[in-house]
Amino acid sequence: MAKITFTFEDSSIETKVIEQVEEGYSILEVTEDHDIHLNHNCGGVCACSTCHIYVLKGEDQVEEISDKEEDFIDRAINPKLESRLACQCIILDEDADIVVQIPDQNRIIGHEH
């Protein structure tokens, strides 16, 4: 089973390691299942940029970025080469070891989930 380590731009939030993640789940679904705050105004259908994250390790173990996702990332706050949308990061490898950084959610206008 996959392992995802969540780090946070907001240094007041401790790193969280989630193990036993099944292949086929999105990183957004993992945040929901484990009470990790990540905005997602469109409900996870790649129609906004509020679930913007940085994949620091394991980018080859999630679904490839699409043109549509890239367009929305361009609208995110502080996009980088490591930027992805959590709703589109489907885990492809049951042995994946992924490290994600969640941007400061206080800077994102949206609903808290």
CATH number for the domain that contains residue 49: 3.10.20.30
Question: Is 96 inside a domain boundary?
Answer: yes
- pTM of this prediction? 0.92
User: 100: exposed, middle or buried (C-beta count within 10 Å: 0-12, 13-18, 19+)?
Assistant: buried
In a domain, 113, yes or no: no
Rounded to the nearest 5 percent, the helix, strand and coil shares of the chain are 20, 30, 50
Q: Is the pLDDT of residue 113 over 60?
A: no
Which domain range does residue 63 map to? Answer: 2-107
Residue 16 lies inside a defined structural domain of this protein? yes
The answer as to whether 112 is a domain residue is: no
Query: In sequence order, what are the residues at sequence separation of 6 or more whose Cβ sits closer than 8 angstroms to the Cβ of residue 55?
Result: 62, 82, 84, 89, 98, 99, 100
Mean pLDDT value of segment 50-73: 97
Q: How crowded is residue 15: how many other Cβ atoms within 10 Å of its Cβ?
A: 10
Whether 89 is in a domain gets the answer yes
pLDDT at 108: 74
